[in-house]
């Protein structure tokens, strides 16, 4: 089952994606609100409200206001190698604010003072569907609602000003997130980034060092994960900053991040 948050008539609504149409899920302003219900899956499956065409639909971030967004750094073996590091013993965690999220097809508007080293990071996003605290990896799947796609859009010059990465990861409305959540996705499909249709990153999602279940176990032993919280699992090799010479996103250029089976986020960068 695929679920999304759509923008309609100045507001948003949760919706079930059905082939070429979406069925609105009445009473739920977004997917995060729906996931807060214990029986969210039954509600979504039973929805029979208004349908809208998906062609030209205006997608909001799939979870517009997650309570928590955990990001995992250095979690694909290929990316770790290109950065000249050893495989980690524990996940490298940092946080992304909900304000950094934007729709999967929205323009990304970047202030000119932060536009010198704009980089892409194709990532698989895990969305929590049931509260998790101190859970095991074996039971983690029960706490995952599904998976989505995100570009962990990064300002490298800001990221490396200090030892803390957050400032380069949290510029307003820069991380395209969506277009939907898929409850049935399985690891092992192709993940890639294209810059102006040129392939920059390509791997498969089973190259992750720490798999989603392990991340849910690890993070839930630190803090309670609640429905609608998001874990962004890390990026693969091929980021612009690691290239020689380095390569970055320019004004007017479009980045596409695709996870096979989950869809594509496609964002054009506008520098102002």
Specify whether 122 is located in the same domain as 233: yes
CA distance 103 to 59: 6
Residue 87: which pLDDT band, with cuts at 50, 70 and 90?
confident
Residue 232 has pLDDT above 90, yes or no: yes
Alpha-carbon 267 to chain mean position: 13
Residue 192 has a CB neighbour count (10 Å cut-off) of 19
- Is residue 9 within 8 A of residue 189, CB to CB? The reply is no
Specify whether 82 is located in the same domain as 169: yes
Specify whether 166 is located in the same domain as 97: yes
Specify whether 88 is located in the same domain as 218: yes
Q: Which of 15, 32, 60 is the last residue of a domain?
A: 60
The residue written with tokens 């859970």 in the block is 135
- Looking at the chain, the whole-number percentage of residues with pLDDT higher than 90 is 92
The residue written with tokens 């690891």 in the block is 187
Specify whether 45 is located in the same domain as 97: no
Specify whether 146 is located in the same domain as 12: no
CATH of the domain at 103: 3.90.850.10
The residue written with tokens 């079930």 in the block is 16
Specify whether 49 is located in the same domain as 122: no
pTM for this model (two decimals): 0.96
Q: What is the 3-state secondary structure (H, E, C) of the chain?
A: CEEEEEEECCEEEEEEEECCEEEECCCCCCHHHHHCCCCHHHHHHHCCCCEEECCCCCECCCCCCCCCEEEEECCEHHHHHHCCCCCCCCCEEEECCHHHEECCCCCEEECHHHCCCEECCEEEEEEECCCECCCCHHHHHHHEEEEEEEECCEEHHHHCCCCCCHHHCCCCCCEEEEEEEECCCCCCCEEEEEECCEEEEEEEHHHECCCHHHHHHHHHCCCCECCCCEEEEEECCCCHHHCCCCCCCCCCCEEEEEECCCEEEEEEEEEC
Specify whether 50 is located in the same domain as 145: no
Residue 230: closest CA among 75, 72, 102, 69:
69
Residues 179-217 have pLDDT tens digits of 999 999 999 999 999 999 999 999 999 999 999 999 999
Work out how many domains the chain is built from and give that number.
Answer: 2
Contacts by 50-53, CB closer than 8 A, 24 or more apart: 50/23, 50/24, 51/18, 51/21, 51/22, 51/23, 51/24, 52/6, 52/8, 52/15, 52/21, 52/22, 52/24, 53/20, 53/21
Residues 60-73 have pLDDT tens digits of 999 999 999 999 99
CA distance 202 to 208: 13
Residue 81: which pLDDT band, with cuts at 50, 70 and 90?
confident
Specify whether 15 is located in the same domain as 126: no
Specify whether 47 is located in the same domain as 72: no
Six token digits for residue 73: 């750094």
Specify whether 122 is located in the same domain as 196: yes
Give the residue numbers spanning the domain of 140.
Answer: 61-271
Specify whether 92 is located in the same domain as 172: yes
């Amino acid at each position: 089952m695929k679920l999304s948050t759509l923008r309609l008539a100045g507001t948003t609504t949760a919706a079930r994606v059905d082939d070429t149409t979406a069925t609105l899920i009445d009473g739920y302003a977004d997917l995060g609100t729906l996931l807060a219900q214990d029986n969210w899956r039954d509600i979504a499956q039973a929805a029979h409200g208004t349908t809208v065409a998906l062609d030209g639909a205006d997608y909001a971030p799939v979870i517009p206001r997650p309570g928590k967004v955990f990001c995992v750094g250095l979690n694909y073996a290929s990316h770790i190698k290109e950065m000249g590091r050893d495989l980690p013993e524990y996940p490298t965690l940092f946080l992304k604010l909900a304000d950094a999220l934007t729709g999967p097809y929205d323009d990304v508007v970047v202030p000119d003072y932060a536009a010198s080293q704009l980089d892409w990071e194709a990532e698989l996003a895990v969305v929590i569907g049931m509260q998790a605290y101190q859970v095991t990896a074996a039971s983690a799947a029960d706490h995952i609602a599904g998976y989505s796609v995100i570009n962990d859009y990064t300002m490298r010059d800001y990221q490396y000003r200090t030892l803390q990465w957050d400032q380069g990861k949290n510029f307003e409305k820069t991380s395209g997130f969506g277009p939907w959540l898929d409850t049935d996705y399985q690891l092992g499909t192709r993940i890639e980034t294209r810059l102006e249709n040129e392939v920059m990153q390509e791997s498969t999602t089973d190259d992750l060092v720490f798999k989603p279940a392990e991340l849910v176990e690890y993070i839930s032993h630190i803090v309670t994960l609640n429905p609608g919280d998001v874990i962004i699992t890390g990026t693969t090799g091929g980021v612009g900053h690691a290239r020689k010479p380095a390569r970055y996103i320019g004004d007017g250029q479009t980045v596409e991040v695709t996870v096979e089976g989950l869809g594509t986020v496609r964002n054009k960068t506008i520098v102002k």
